[in-house]
């Protein structure tokens, strides 16, 4: 049994990760690793970068086409999509956030890993309110693949 099946935590080996060059421009990483009947991300992508064989299949991101706009983050019912961009030593992560209070731009928050553990400080760069709010944070590049939530306050 895989860890995600018993604990609900994905490991990097479970994910289909982009190459370094893709991370430089920023791309969507879809942490959707179990077949469920769901496809709004496919319809939401303005660049047709997300494809799915059928409604139960796993979504596949074409990292060449993806520009990291994050439109898919907002519609994903599973809140499973993150946009990650790496510029030198910094990582910029866009993540879904459905809690109150909403952080403010420039505010310092704690970045959390997939287990909800604090891993480092992060700075909020942008707050995009929508169907699901999308928060953009900046943090050290080494945490790019682990920071998946924030704690405000």
Give the residue with the Cβ less far from another protein, 110 or 125.
110
Give the residue with the Cβ less far from another protein, 19 or 100.
100
Q: Which stretch binds another protein (CB under 8 A): 62-70, 74-82, 85-93, 134-142?
A: 74-82
- The answer to whether the beta carbons of residues 49 and 61 sit under 8 Å apart is yes
Give the residue with the Cβ less far from another protein, 20 or 153.
153
Per the DSSP assignment, residues forming a β-bridge with 41 are none
**38 is a site residue for another protein (CB under 8 A):** yes
Give the residue with the Cβ less far from another protein, 48 or 56.
56
CB of 141 to another protein, least distance (A): 20
Distances in Å between the alpha carbon of 143 and those of 13, 84, 117, 118? 16, 11, 12, 11
Distances in Å between the alpha carbon of 50 and those of 54, 97, 101, 107, 148? 12, 22, 32, 32, 21
What is the 3-state secondary structure of 112-151? ECCCCCEEEEEEEEEEECCCCEEEEEEEEHHHCCCCCEEE
**130 is a site residue for another protein (CB under 8 A):** no
CB of 51 to another protein, least distance (A): 15
CB of 25 to another protein, least distance (A): 25
CB of 3 to another protein, least distance (A): 11
């Amino acid at each position: 049994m895989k860890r995600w099946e018993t604990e609900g935590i994905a490991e990097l080996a479970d994910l289909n990760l982009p190459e370094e060059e893709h991370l430089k421009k920023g791309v969507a990483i879809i942490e959707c690793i179990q077949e469920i009947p769901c496809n709004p991300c496919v319809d939401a992508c303005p660049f047709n970068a997300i494809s799915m064989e059928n409604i139960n299949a796993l979504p596949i991101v074409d990292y060449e086409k993806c520009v990291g706009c994050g439109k898919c983050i907002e519609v994903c019912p599973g809140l499973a999509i993150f946009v990650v961009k790496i510029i030198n030593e910094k990582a910029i992560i866009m993540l879904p956030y459905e809690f109150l209070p909403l952080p403010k731009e420039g505010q310092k928050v704690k970045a959390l890993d997939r287990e909800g553990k604090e891993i480092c400080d992060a700075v909020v760069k942008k707050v995009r309110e929508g169907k699901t709010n999308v928060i953009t944070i900046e943090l050290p590049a080494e945490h790019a693949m682990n920071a998946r939530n924030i704690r405000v306050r």
